[in-house]
Amino acid sequence: MALLQINDLVVRYGEIEALRGVSLAVDEGQVVTLLGANGAGKSTTLRAISGLIKPASGEILFDGKPISGPNTHTLGPEAIVRLGISHVPEGRRVFPGLSVKENIMLGGSNRRVGKAELSREADAMFDLFPDIRAFANALGWTLSGGQLQMVAVARGLMAKPRLLLLDEPSLGLAPVIVQAVFRIISQIRRDTTVLLVEQNARMGLSVADHGYVLETGRIVLGGKPDELWGNEAIRAAYLGGH
């Protein structure tokens, strides 16, 4: 049984049908990458999983249990976090009035553990993200885009999720930083299942066990990364060769 199973999901924003029957599965322990152009519906898929928007039809099952769908009382975002799904949205929002470490600790606020334990775990995050260690306790810090991204991923991991949803972690980052972020993704995959949204097909598939291509609200392709890369027509049409 898949950890996450999405069946025939339809999401509308008013008149706009952003998802037109999306089905996909993520097995426990996998990194699954969802590729697609701007506006294809990638972020919408993640928002539906984390309970930020309610689908018009279809269903989402987590660990075999429905969390969203027309015949289910759709769970709210807090309930979904408590089930073990953590969403790192596009844009890396951080709270400038808090230190980097406090920002990271916030990610664990859904768990029933004391502040001392959260503090220890946040300290351990700096082993995974050494580039931001120097800013741990400073106030008035200024971080680069890549460093902010690391704070956002570390915060997502503090929830100890069974499933981590990562929305375009490479967006706007210099290639060397993108590589650092993807190195971290390949490290965390040992303990965490990841559904990764990416426009950068090469990086996205480099860490994936399985990939899907989303086009105007529909999954048009799915397969192992080398199958997706191996097909010239697919590469030209959907992956943009990058």
Q: What are phi and psi for residue 38, nearest 5 degrees? A: -50, 130
CB of 41 to ligand ATP, least distance (A): 4
Q: Report the 3 state secondary structure along 11-29.
A: EEECCEEEEEEEEEEECCC
Residue with tokens 């375009």: 168
Q: Is 36 in the site for ligand ATP (CB under 6 A)?
A: yes
State the minimum distance, in angstroms, from the CB of residue 33 to ligand ATP: 13
What part of residues 173-202 is at the interface with ligand ATP (CB under 6 A)?
none
Pair of tokens at residue 51: 């309970």
Alpha carbon distance 7, 40 (integer Å): 18
Residue with Cβ nearer ligand ATP (84 or 169): 169
Rounded-to-integer distance, Cα 65 and Cα 173, Å:
37
Look up residue 194 and give its amino acid.
V
Cross-strand bridge partners of residue 22: 9
Q: Is 41 in the site for ligand ATP (CB under 6 A)?
A: yes
13 binds ligand ATP (CB under 6 A): yes
Q: Which is nearer to ligand ATP, 33 or 103 (CB)?
A: 33
Q: Which member of 44, 68, 74, 103 binds ligand ATP (CB under 6 A)?
A: 44
Residues forming contacts to ligand ATP in the complex (CB under 6 A) are: 13, 16, 18, 36, 38-44
